[in-house]
Amino acid sequence: MTNTRKTAVTTTEPENTATPATETSTPAFVGPPLRHGQEPEKVVFAHHLRIAGRDFRPGESARVSPDYARQLRSSGYLARGRA
């Protein structure tokens, strides 16, 4: 009997080590939209939180509206700022 099994030729491509667009130095804007004249606020999460289908771990940061930041801060989800 003759072996008729064909093997596929595989090429090795270098892995992409660049950071994804979601983990750049500038955090993404999440949460409710800004009102007219508001500027987004950069916040650091103190607890695991899921916003708009994206998970944020403790220590990660994002930009949110000031109203949403106030709501998250009063619920205890944001880390306290250093004075």
Write out the chain's pLDDT in tens, 83 residues.
677 777 666 666 656 555 455 454 556 789 999 999 999 999 999 999 999 889 999 999 999 999 999 999 999 999 876 54
What's the sign of the alpha-carbon dihedral 67, 70, 76, 82?
positive
| Total count of domains within the chain | 1
- Residue 71 falls within a domain, yes or no? yes
The reply to whether 2 falls in a domain is no
Confirm whether 8 is domain-assigned: no
Q: Would you tell me how many other CB atoms lie within 10 Å of the CB of residue 54?
A: 12
Closest Cα to residue 62, out of 76, 49, 71? 49
Instruction: Yes or no: say if 61 and 42 are a contact pair by the CB < 8 Å rule.
Output: yes
Does residue 80 sit within a domain?
A: no
Task: Establish if 58 belongs to a structural domain.
Answer: yes
Does this model's pTM top 0.75? My answer is no
Host domain of residue 49 = 28-75
